[in-house]
Structure 1
Amino acid sequence: MSKFFDDFVHLKVYLVGRCTKCKHYNELMVHDYGRLPYSKLEDEMDRTNHPIRPISCNKCGTEYKPQQLVYRDVVRDSEVAKVNIDYSNIIDDEKSAAMQEGHDDRFKIYQKREQEFWAAYTEFALEDWKSAVGELMRQEIEAGFAALGKKTTLKSDLHARREVLQKIAASDRRSFWIAANQEFIVGELLDLGVMGWVPIEFAKRYGAARTRFGVMYFPIVEALEDLRTKYIGLLFKRERGDNAFLLRRIGQLTDAAHKQTVKYNKALRQTDEQKHVIAEMQDKLGVANARITELSRQQPAQSRDSDDIRRIRELKSFVGELLAELRAIRPDEPEDIGESPMLDESGTDGADTSNPDLSALEGKTVAIIGGYRSRRDNGDYPCEITTHDGRKHDPDFYAALQQADIIVVLTRFISHASMWEARTVAAQEDKPIHYAQEINIGSILNIVAQK
């Protein structure tokens, strides 16, 4: 255990990261442990989880996923730790609860298997006693001598190890080893629990061999075994011996998994950044389309001012460029908007539309985006009707928009991406576009005809 075990610490926990939209750095405090002695803080940390939630940017108000957890000691005005948030490894509530339960029950689990573990651990040490002693520190050796009732003055780690090899009889080695390793096994592996282990730091402080044994064989519940596997991969990258190939392979797989994790987290952040870019472009598209519509309606085409014609052309060109950029950065598939409906063709469903006047649609082609028909014939309608569910921007989708004289968008069943494609084609081609929530074809056509 730390020699500062009874020192006071005031730890605060923050979610931090740069905004995916404006790149402003933000922090959100998610927990304050208060001023506690280190021994009490460890107990509090065991009982506390820090849920990962979005940060709201102080500059632009955008909500985004944090990148790191930061632990700060207010007493010493220092950063204790900074942990990258691994979104690829975020677990479901059920597994999280099982892991937490295993962590909370670690003392009971250890107690049940304590003798079994120590028997194996001492056998490991006795197989190569000199090498095992070579990893002990002076204070650990002092604890071992004290447990045997032996008084000795130790000047350094090296001197202490020599004293062990010279003065500890073979019959006392088991007792000595158990006493000397209480700090490592009980004070570190048990008190911290698997969720708090730092294997690389353990190896530096307590030696590689006994750290490896402890990590591989310390008693834990099944729910925490994935963490053990991860730690084994970190510790056995350069192992030599009978199991060298297997252990090196575990290390290689751990490295590969880490690289995939880095790629996943990077891609996740890039996706969030692209969402903001897409939203901004869609806003610009909306403004440009609205302006085109406004200029087009101001006066008939044959009497339009040359400046208005030029402005409309420039706006259409701008819209085309924006849409091309959107297509390049937008995900391949539109967002999930559920199943598209089969359109109802059983007359009309409006109160005043029993005999709708659809003569204005004579000879027209009406494209309905957001649903599909159960039949291909045109029925009793005066116009040609084409449909597309809008879920994929395939050739049929664009053909339906291009061939249409009038476009109808079913707002409840179409993605934002498909809606913008339809609006842009309508603006560029001077085609009327209507928005409806109905799925009855007769009602849809009646709405279009009235407008």
Structure 2
Amino acid sequence: MADLFDRPVHLKAYLTGRCTKCKHYNEVMTHDYGNLPYRELEDQMDRTNHSIHPIMCKKCGAGYPPQHLVYRDVDRKEDVVRVQIDYSSPVDPETSAAMTEGHDRRYDIFKEYEREFWAAYTGFALEDWRAAVGELLRSEIEAGCSALGITPGEWRTEQQARKDMSTRFKTDADRSAFWQAANHEFITDEILNIGAMGWPPELLVKRYGSRRTRFAIMYFPIAEALETLRTRYIGQLFRKEKGDNAFLLRRIGQLTEDMQKQAVRANQLIRKVDEQKHEIAGLQDKVGVANAKIASLSNQQPAEERNKDDIRRIRELKSFVGELLAELRAIRPDEPEDIGESPMLDESGTDGADTPTTDLSILEGKTVAIIGGYRSRRDNGDYPCEITTHDGRKHDPDFYTALQQADIIVVLTRFISHASMWEARTVAAQEDKPIYYAQEINIRSILNTVVQK
């Protein structure tokens, strides 16, 4: 074992996963541990917290959440560990720090309770000595004999060694001493050195047997902050338990399995949401291109002079925009975008600028819809046109009524979401209505901008 732990290993950690937009597989190195002996490398892995951040796809350039954290042996060109990243229940920094601190203190904690643990562990073995010895490996039996100065027998098989040890000792004291010596590798290297944060219960059961693996995981002294991990491991180990506490242990196993399934579903949902974000962005780009083409065709010549081909193309593009918008509405999340509160529009006669007031008579008889703010009064003031407003935060009937009844649409870009802006642009393109974009909130200043443009 000494040679194995002293062997240098060059390990690198990677964030990996398929792009949620184009499905291309990407890997990004997040940490290089260098070429270290196994024991030192193990300590470095314990102390390294990897930052989980989006991967930028090398093929399409989209950012997306990674799926796995992979530890790779550079020299052997093989993955040592592949850990699925769980986004369903993120650990807060305070809990994470407590778990790390508990993991670092595992040697001190074990030293404090070492005598009690070994007493309980040997007592467990003595209750059914034959079954306990039946889980020992031949190498463990030989190590136990060597520690007690016993000459190993001429065993042809591991089973013969186990049978010999089950009948050789006559006193509980001898059995206890042998049991502790034979289990030194299991308890020290697999349970203590690795620590609760890295225990692999199913692998330990395969190598060391279910009975002693269960006992060690259930009773090994660990920090209080790591007890949630112990509960999870118990759920994995006792799914099909039979005995006095069968119902309770099976229930823990069932709850653990349900939590794992929910975590899988949550991670799948997170990737689905990310996929939909890329899909929405793509559809919005298409809507923008279609609107630009419509505007270009609309400005080429007066409507009465358009030829039949241009009219047909405009109609087709408008229909295309309508279909894209319908699809965009269907997949767009219900939650509103994170935008600020809509402002109350300024009703004063001027915005405070020194420039002369523009003649607004050209707007007489028109209806101007301002999207992104609201008014404090309902009368129309002293404007030559009708003013209607909507904050744009919800696409309710009033929102679409304001757009449909308007002769001119004005969008306050600082105070509405991208979704509302696209809705306004689409209605303007479909209905051949002029649309303007403003940042100020003074109504007269907004109207001045419209007239000047």
**Same fold flag (TM > 0.5):** yes
Which of 414, 417, 423 in structure 2 is aligned with 1:415?
Answer: 417
Mapping for residues 259-338 of structure 1, pairs under 5 Å: 259-338=261-340
Which moves more between the two structures, 308-317 or 60-69? 60-69
After TM superposition, give the deviation of residue 353 of structure 1 in Å: 6.2
Match status 1:206 vs 2:208: yes
**How far 1:356 sits from its partner (Å)?**
4.8
The whole-number CA distance in structure 2 between the counterparts of 1:81 and 1:103 is: 19
Matches within 5 A, 1:427-442: 427-442=429-444
Cα distance in 2, alignment partners of residues 187 and 327 from structure 1: 57
Counterpart in 2 of 1:161? Answer: 162
Whole-Å separation in 2 of the counterparts to 1:201 and 1:289: 60
Structure 1 position 116, deviation (Å): 2.5
1:147: which partner in 2? Answer: 147
Alignment of 1:212-291 (within 5 A): 212-291=214-293
Q: Which runs of 5+ in 1 are unaligned?
A: none
Instruction: Quote the Cα distance in structure 2 between the aligned partners of 1:260 and 1:197.
Output: 22
- Return the letter of the residue paired with 2:68: Q
In structure 2, runs of 5+ residues without a counterpart are: none
Matched to 2:361, the amino acid is S
In structure 2, the residue corresponding to 1:27 is in which secondary structure? strand
Residue type of the partner of 1:8? Answer: P
1: distance between equivalents of 2:221 and 2:378? 68
Change (3 A) 1:95 1:325: same
Q: Which amino acid aligns with 2:412?
A: L
Q: Which moved more, 1:223-232 or 1:348-357?
A: 348-357
TM-superposition CA deviations, 1:377-406 (whole Å, max 9, x none): 333333333322222222222222222222
Whole-Å Cα distance in 1 between the matches of residues 235 and 388 of structure 2? 58
Aligned equivalent of 2:374: 372
2:90 is aligned to 90
Instruction: Return closer, same or farther for 1:378/1:216 CA change in 2, 3 Å cut-off.
Output: farther
TM-aligned CA deviation for residue 435 of structure 1? 1.0
Change (3 A) 1:157 1:348: farther
Cα distance in structure 2, aligned partners of 1:284 and 1:323: 10
CA distance in 2, matches of 1:214, 1:401: 70
Q: Name the structure 1 match of 2:35.
A: 35
How far 1:408 sits from its partner (Å)? 1.5
Give the alignment's TM-score, normalised by structure 1: 0.93
How many residues matched?
451
The percentage of aligned residue pairs carrying the same residue is 72
Q: Provide the rounded CA distance (Å) in 2 between the counterparts of 1:218 and 1:383.
A: 80
Q: Which moved more, 1:362-371 or 1:306-315?
A: 362-371
- Aligned-pair distance for 1:3? 7.1
Compared CA separation, residues 280 and 179, structure 1 to 2 (3 A): same
Partner of 2:15: 15
Query: In 2 relative to 1, CA 225–375 (structure 1 residues): closer, same or farther, beyond 3 Å?
Result: farther
CA distance in 2: counterparts of 1:74 and 1:355, whole angstroms: 72
Please say if residues 126 and 172 of structure 2, whose CA atoms lie closer than 8 Å, have aligned partners that are also in contact: no
Counterpart Cα distance in 2 of 1:155 and 1:339: 81
Amino acid at match of 1:432: P
Q: Bigger shift: 100-109 or 372-381? A: 372-381
User: Which residue number corresponds to residue 388 of structure 2?
Assistant: 386
CA displacement at 1:201 relative to structure 2: 0.3
Q: 1:374 to 1:194 in 2, by over 3 A?
A: farther
TM-score, normalization by structure 2: 0.93
Residue matched to 1:395: 397
Contact 1:106 1:193 in 2 (8 A): yes
- Quick one: structure 1 residues 256 and 347, their matched pair in 2 at CA, closer, same or farther if it must change by over 3 Å? farther
1:104 counterpart residue number: 104
Conserved 8 A contact 1:334-1:418: no
Alpha carbons 2:26, 2:57 under 8 Å: kept = yes
Contact 2:369/2:409, CA 8 A, preserved across alignment:
yes
Contact 1:15–1:29 (CA under 8 A) maintained in structure 2: yes
Cα distance in 2 for partners of 1:59, 1:223 equals 42
